[in-house]
Amino acid sequence: MEYGAHLPLISFSGESRSLEDIRSYASLARDLGYRYLCANDHLLFSRPWLDGPTALSAVLDVSGDMRLATTVALPVLRGPVPTAKTLGAIDLLSGGRVTVGVGPGSSEADYKVAGIEFSERWKRFDESISALRYLWNGEAFQGTFYPTGDVSLQPRPAQPDGPPIWVASWGSEAGLRRVARLGDGWLASGYNTTPDIFPRALSYLGEQLIIHGKDAATFPNGIATMWMYVTEDPDEAAMMLENVVSKMLNRPVDQIAGLLPIGSAEECAALISRYASVNAQRVFVWPIANDQEQIERFMDQVVPLVED
């Protein structure tokens, strides 16, 4: 099992995010042994949300050899050309350490402010992935929404074929078919899967990968947006679940209880161990408070208890 840490882009309780904050967090994650540094993307959200690609670029020089991952970027909302330009530059400047997780976005408000019809998101999303590949490596495609046929973005990313593109899916069959058809990896969602659902989705994905001539045994996966808070105080854990996660996701507590590593070190390790046992390869944790203390606590107290 590999571990990644989401950059603390959200202001959960109104605190402001400074350059010093995110650079210090990235340095600590590097020193603790996290292998991925992750940034998510939203235009609008219920809480202040620092721009993800900008934050990734701000920590390049303190991230060591960590992979820099978008989990996810929104190429439909940003446009494939700006997305390819930005993430290609980060890949070049990082020496080829970028993994591009992409999704269509589930916020209708984001689409409204971007001036894009929400009903077009899936068709645009599929085409945007092909557009990214073309812009990075010249892989031909015929598009309806994105006329990129004569565009040449320079300089190229450091990775010869461009950064690998991992497609996000909560695990529906339609979503997993899209992952198999268009992706170089699969990103699942920590609050939309379980250790029981995940292996069934992984099995179906394997069948689809074979159809598309891809090797299921080497196809990477990861579980992103794994909201995390390690505490030995059950009342504090309950408070975090109810006052932070439930309100943020607009879901009742009983729908999310047990889905996330929120609780004692043993409880958190038991959940991660269940994922490890069903071939989840990576978990990307996101502290919901006390960011640096929590990524240190997770690595020092939870990871040693995980049964791979």
Tens digit of pLDDT for each residue in 146-191? 877 778 889 999 999 999 999 999 999 999 999 999 999 999 999 9
Residue with tokens 């996330």: 260
Q: Contact at 8 Å (CB) between 71 and 38?
A: yes
- Give residue 44's pLDDT: 84
Query: 45 Cβ partners below 8 Å, 6+ apart?
Result: 10, 107
Q: Domain range holding 181?
A: 2-221
For 254-281, the pLDDT digits (tens) are 999 999 999 999 999 999 999 999 999 9
State the total domains in the chain: 1
- Give residue 80's pLDDT: 94
Which one is predicted more confidently, 72 or 16?
72
- Give residue 214's pLDDT: 97
- Give residue 308's pLDDT: 80
- Give residue 140's pLDDT: 79
Q: Is residue 293 part of a domain?
A: no
Q: Is residue 53 part of a domain?
A: yes
pTM: 0.95
Q: Is residue 54 part of a domain?
A: yes
- Give residue 118's pLDDT: 94
- Give residue 106's pLDDT: 83
Run of H or E including 179: helix 173-182
Q: Is residue 66 part of a domain?
A: yes
- Give residue 138's pLDDT: 84
State the pairing for strand pair 2-6/282-287.
Answer: parallel
Q: Contact at 8 Å (CB) between 201 and 171?
A: yes
Helices (runs of H) and strands (runs of E) counted in the chain: 13, 9
- Which runs of E-coded beta strand occur in 158-245? 165-168, 185-189, 221-230
The fraction of the chain above a pLDDT of 90, given in percent, is: 86
Q: Is residue 266 part of a domain?
A: no
Q: Contact at 8 Å (CB) between 98 and 161?
A: no
Helix, strand or coil, per DSSP, at residue 193: coil
Span 190-202, average pLDDT: 96
Query: 69 Cβ partners below 8 Å, 6+ apart?
Result: 4, 36, 37, 38, 39, 98, 99, 100, 101, 166, 222, 284
Check pLDDT > 80 for residue 289. yes
Q: Is residue 279 part of a domain?
A: no
Q: Is residue 232 part of a domain?
A: no
For 109-143, the pLDDT digits (tens) are 899 999 999 999 999 999 999 999 999 998 878 88
Q: Contact at 8 Å (CB) between 6 and 39?
A: yes
- Mean pLDDT across the chain: 94
Q: Is residue 84 part of a domain?
A: yes
CATH of the domain at 23: 3.20.20.30
